[in-house]
Structure 1
Amino acid sequence: MPQTDPKTIKAQLRKGELKNLYYIFGKNIPEVEKLTKQIIQAAVGDNEEFALNKLDGRYLDTSELYDMIQMMPMMSEYNCILINDYNCEKPRENMAGLRSDDLNKKLLEVLKDIPSQTVVIFNVTGFEIAVKTDYKTGRSTIKDKNKKLADLAEKVGELVECPIKSENELAKDIAASVSARGSLISLDNARELAVMCQSDTLTIKNEIDKLCSYAGNGEITADIIRNLVHRQSDVTFFKLADAVSAFNKRAAFEALDELMQDRDNRGAVLANITASFIDMYRAACARKCGKQVADVKADFAYVWEFKVKNAFRDSSKMSIRRLRECIRILRDTNITLNSGGCDEKTVLEQTVTKMLMTKN
């Protein structure tokens, strides 16, 4: 069976269709957890106490797992087993005297003949799987040792990836969620909320709860969002880059002040400012070569599309020569901060001033 998506799995569950093996992974961890719960609910209903076994993948005993798989269900149609965070790269917390290939081979043997009454779910929420993403098809191919386990799930059950959604997809979800709570929000404001939260679904959920409590049955306006939602730091880095590109001194220093208040590690502030200008430099070079947002996202493996879009937008105001000069200034600033005692805030203010003085 081909790799599928959460929407397809949910449609199968509504029809009462269950597979014997699931492998669920992806950067959208809340969606991984949500889909896992839905599969468990479909398999055992309210009988989790008797029909569900939860195992920690870091301490998985394949002999014990085999016995669980062969068990007959109690007070439920299915016997369900959830294995969280089994990592084929490091199958045990303590690998002394053990080989990962041997442990993985035993696991695959156990999983080859799952009886019809058993549903086995592997989900990944505590480590990142190495993947190569085809941004044209949206499919990801697992590159590390977890591929064999994923391939088995794809062959006999379901391999499911939960990727981070685009801002437009999230905007629709936000609008629907807000509406279900009795409030209103426009798609433009929902999209802005997604961007401010860096497309993090858990952060978005928390912000929706707060905004709906404030707005009640009214509309969540742009002013309410600006006043109540804390803009994630990465978004403020883009504000700073945008202000420098537009020669907007006031906005640049307001953004810098906000960043210095948010971060205890001011070296991280410089690193992220530099990353924003490197993003813009990539975008400017890509535009010169006739490349588009999708090309840059694929070539440099960006997770969030809005970062690339912002880079394309802001870099249009700056020449490549000026971007190079700003990156040189940031390089010199890094050397200064790492060379000895100095006031980080003062040095960064001087850096922003120098960048504002560069010319196209």
Structure 2
Amino acid sequence: MVNAIWKKIAAGEIDPVYLLTGLEQHLFDSTITRLKKALPDIDAASVIRFDLDETPVEAVIEEADTLPFLEDRKLIIAGNASFLKASDKTREKVTHNLELLEAWLANPSPTATVVFIAPYEKLDARKRITKIIKEHATVIESKRLQGKDLFTWIQQEAGANGSRIGPTEAEFLVKMAGDDLLALSSEIGKMATYLNGNGDITADVIESLVPRTPEMDVFRLTDAYVSGKVSNTVAIYHDLLRNGEEPIMLTSLIASQVRLMVHVGLLQKKGYQQHQIAKTLSVHPYRVKLMMENRSLPSSERLLLILSKLAAIDYKLKSSSGKRERILELFFMEPLRK
């Protein structure tokens, strides 16, 4: 959906009112950047920003209805549209004339594009103003991208930077860097610069330039261990130690990954699909996908036994004054029965 709206913007089909909602800030920024590029002759002076936590919505409407100076159109960004979400116990700083906003939405200014930003996970669908603004505005829900949508976005982002990346390499990039769009955008820009803005982002380029996050390395470490790949497990473990990671912290993170594997396995047996499991466990679907596709995973009983051993190792690490690195290494070198 968001890609279709971006294509319309790039083609110069600019709507008078947009509503951006959700928690993915990078999608907000990307949409506003695209609007700036698409609007003719717009400059910094023609972009007006309001914080609706501090300013009543009437000021936004007044600005929108005021003719732009020396430009055909102005861009107005109205952030923190909290009147669209469920009321909380905290008292709002300003009072908004929502009846005026409702009337204006039915006939918005032809010389302004107004972007309302509601950076919240959910809007209050029961509110009259929420229904009306959704009816009249072009809505972009900045949900966390996942699966093919995420890989498509990565390919488009690479193209915008003058480079190319295939779906397999896009998946590898997510595995290395995680799924945060802002971080991914930064890494793609860095790799495109390395390729002089013209070339293919390959697995070798990703491996060379993208730093692994500790969380992703722990995911790889745990996956290698439960799959019985002892040499890979020990190699990843040594890399983490060289990067300054502590055995106690690693033990905790590994236990967290194993618990997630147990939960994914149990829900899968109950017939849950990938997206349902991800929503139930509040984790990204890509992590669930990797676990569901791993045919080497031990049984739930074996995973629970691993958790028991990790609990004993955690106690030993916290009570030992010797070489702690060796304690966890010996655990990795034990034969793992399926």
Do the structures match in fold with TM over 0.5? yes
Superposed CA deviations along residues 128-183 of structure 1, whole A, max 9, x for unmatched, are x234xxxxxxxxxx3699x7664342022122112333343444444455566665
Question: Could you tell me which of 15, 19, 31 is aligned with 1:35?
Answer: 31
* C-alpha distance in structure 2 between counterparts of 1:177 and 1:10, whole Å: 12
Q: Do residues 227 (structure 1) and 220 (structure 2) align?
A: no
Whether the 8 Å CA contact 2:54–2:94 is kept in 1: the answer is no
Counterpart amino acid of residue 68 in structure 1: E
Task: Say if 1:38 and 1:245 are closer, same or farther in 2 by CA, change over 3 A.
Answer: same
Give the structure 2 partner of residue 55 of structure 1. Answer: 50
* C-alpha distance in structure 1 between counterparts of 2:209 and 2:286, whole Å: 22
| TM-fit CA distance, 1:82 | 0.8
* C-alpha distance in structure 2 between counterparts of 1:326 and 1:74, whole Å: 68
| TM-fit CA distance, 1:87 | 3.7
Whether the 8 Å CA contact 2:247–2:324 is kept in 1: the answer is no
After TM superposition, list the pairs within 5 Å mapping 1:252-291 onto structure 2: 252-262=233-243, 269-291=250-272
* C-alpha distance in structure 2 between counterparts of 1:29 and 1:88, whole Å: 19
Give the structure 2 partner of residue 136 of structure 1. Answer: none
RMSD: 3.9
Q: Give the unaligned 5+ runs of structure 2.
A: none
Question: Could you tell me which of 220, 241, 246 is aligned with 1:239?
Answer: 220
Whether the 8 Å CA contact 2:18–2:116 is kept in 1: the answer is yes
* C-alpha distance in structure 2 between counterparts of 1:109 and 1:345, whole Å: 69
Task: Say if 1:160 and 1:355 are closer, same or farther in 2 by CA, change over 3 A.
Answer: farther
The more displaced of 70-79 and 343-352 is: 343-352
The more displaced of 217-226 and 281-290 is: 217-226
Question: Could you tell me which of 281, 285, 289 is aligned with 1:300?
Answer: 281
Question: Could you tell me which of 98, 104, 108 is aligned with 1:108?
Answer: 98
The alignment's TM-score, normalised by the length of structure 1, stands at 0.74
Q: Do residues 10 (structure 1) and 10 (structure 2) align?
A: no
* C-alpha distance in structure 1 between counterparts of 2:145 and 2:285, whole Å: 10
| TM-fit CA distance, 1:33 | 0.7
* Other structure's SS at 1:113 match: helix
Task: Say if 1:324 and 1:202 are closer, same or farther in 2 by CA, change over 3 A.
Answer: same
Whether the 8 Å CA contact 1:326–1:355 is kept in 2: the answer is no
- Number of residue pairs aligned between Structure 1 and Structure 2: 332
Whether the 8 Å CA contact 1:130–1:144 is kept in 2: the answer is no
Counterpart amino acid of residue 28 in structure 1: E
Superposed CA deviations along residues 88-125 of structure 1, whole A, max 9, x for unmatched, are 5999xxx99x723x946x2523422324234321225x
Q: Do residues 250 (structure 1) and 223 (structure 2) align?
A: no
| TM-fit CA distance, 1:62 | 4.2
Question: Could you tell me which of 173, 179, 195 is aligned with 1:199?
Answer: 179
Q: Do residues 130 (structure 1) and 121 (structure 2) align?
A: yes
* C-alpha distance in structure 2 between counterparts of 1:344 and 1:163, whole Å: 47
Question: Could you tell me which of 142, 161, 169 is aligned with 1:189?
Answer: 169
The more displaced of 115-124 and 225-234 is: 115-124
| TM-fit CA distance, 1:323 | 1.0
The more displaced of 9-18 and 316-325 is: 9-18
The alignment's TM-score, normalised by the length of structure 2, stands at 0.78
Task: Say if 1:191 and 1:70 are closer, same or farther in 2 by CA, change over 3 A.
Answer: same
Task: Say if 1:170 and 1:67 are closer, same or farther in 2 by CA, change over 3 A.
Answer: closer
Superposed CA deviations along residues 210-252 of structure 1, whole A, max 9, x for unmatched, are 3334445554432332222212222212211112212333322
* C-alpha distance in structure 1 between counterparts of 2:170 and 2:238, whole Å: 27
Whether the 8 Å CA contact 2:11–2:38 is kept in 1: the answer is no
| TM-fit CA distance, 1:326 | 2.0
The more displaced of 287-296 and 257-266 is: 257-266
Counterpart amino acid of residue 170 in structure 2: A
Q: Give the unaligned 5+ runs of structure 1.
A: 132-141
* Identical-pair percentage: 20
Give the structure 1 partner of residue 75 of structure 2. Answer: 80
Q: Do residues 309 (structure 1) and 275 (structure 2) align?
A: no
* C-alpha distance in structure 1 between counterparts of 2:245 and 2:85, whole Å: 34
Task: Say if 1:107 and 1:321 are closer, same or farther in 2 by CA, change over 3 A.
Answer: farther
| TM-fit CA distance, 1:300 | 2.5
